[in-house]
Amino acid sequence: MVVDTHRNQVNFIGLSKEAVAAAYRSLPVIVIVSVCWCILAPTIVLLGPATATAVAAAGNILRGDRFRLHTALSVFRQYFWRSQLPLVPTLIVIDIAGLSWLQFLRTGELAYGLLAFLSIDILTVLSVLLLYYYPLLVDGNRSARKTARQSTELVMMRLIPTIGLVAFCLSVGVLFGFTVVGFVLLGPGMIATILILATRYLSAGVEPM
């Protein structure tokens, strides 16, 4: 059993085995999606749509469907605006944290340092609350507001597994990150596969409000 919803536990070894097996069956798609994500992500504007496309590709792989170029383009266009929702507040908070820290270094005023640390805390909470946003958006095709609310509700109901999932995804990213080539070729695609698989398991039996 990968997820025990009654005990709020996730078997991450089983989850990774299932994700790796699915990715191995469609390795060329994982590689192409990962490379495209790494190319588009630095633009910031295309980071959201690229992430939604990577998650959609992972969803198709898990279902055993083929993910073609026209499918990728369709997903990219379909979720372009809705995929921006997690990025806007995230970038604002990052800007506040960065500017506050620079002001603290320049002036030495404690208030700026506290604001920088508070912004980092807010950024961490925000990232966790929106962890399931892209998988839920792709699978549910709801409005951005409803998807964000559903992600927040799922985090609250599955808080302990969510914290474990965040740590697990970060560990996978660091593991691939030891070699830049490894991350570029496999990192985004594998993390997207793990994330959408975990979301489907954890959201089972949870009624959207």
Place of tokens 């958006």: 137
Give the pLDDT score at 109: 86
- Number of helices (H), then strands (E), belonging to the chain: the values are 10, 2
Band (pLDDT 50/70/90 cuts) for residue 209 is very low
Place of tokens 């506290």: 114
Angstrom distances, CA of residue 105 to CA of 86, 118, 202: 29, 16, 43
Neighbours of 115 (CB within 10 A): 18
Give the pLDDT score at 117: 92
The whole-number average pLDDT for the span 6-18 is 76
Give the pLDDT score at 17: 87
Q: Give the dihedral of Cα atoms 46, 178, 55, 72; nearest 10 deg.
A: 60
∠ CA 133-139-142, nearest 5°, is: 70
Place of tokens 């798609």: 29
| pLDDT top residue among 127 and 2 | 127
Give the pLDDT score at 6: 61
The whole-number average pLDDT for the span 97-116 is 90
Give the pLDDT score at 177: 83
pLDDT digits (tens, 9 = 90+) for 38-70: 999 999 899 999 999 999 999 999 888 888 888
Strands 3-4 and 9-10, bridge-based pairing:
antiparallel
Give the pLDDT score at 3: 62
pLDDT digits (tens, 9 = 90+) for 119-169: 999 999 999 999 999 999 999 888 999 999 999 999 999 998 899 999 999
When the pLDDT of each residue in the chain is averaged and rounded to a whole number, the result is 89
Give the Cα separation of 132 and 154 in Å (integer).
8
∠ CA 158-127-37, nearest 5°, is: 110
Q: What is the pTM of this model?
A: 0.89
Give the pLDDT score at 7: 59
Between 1-15, 18-32, 81-95, 113-127, the lowest mean confidence (pLDDT) is in 1-15
DSSP 81: T
Question: Using alpha carbons only, how large is the chain's radius of gyration in Å?
Answer: 18
Band (pLDDT 50/70/90 cuts) for residue 29 is very high
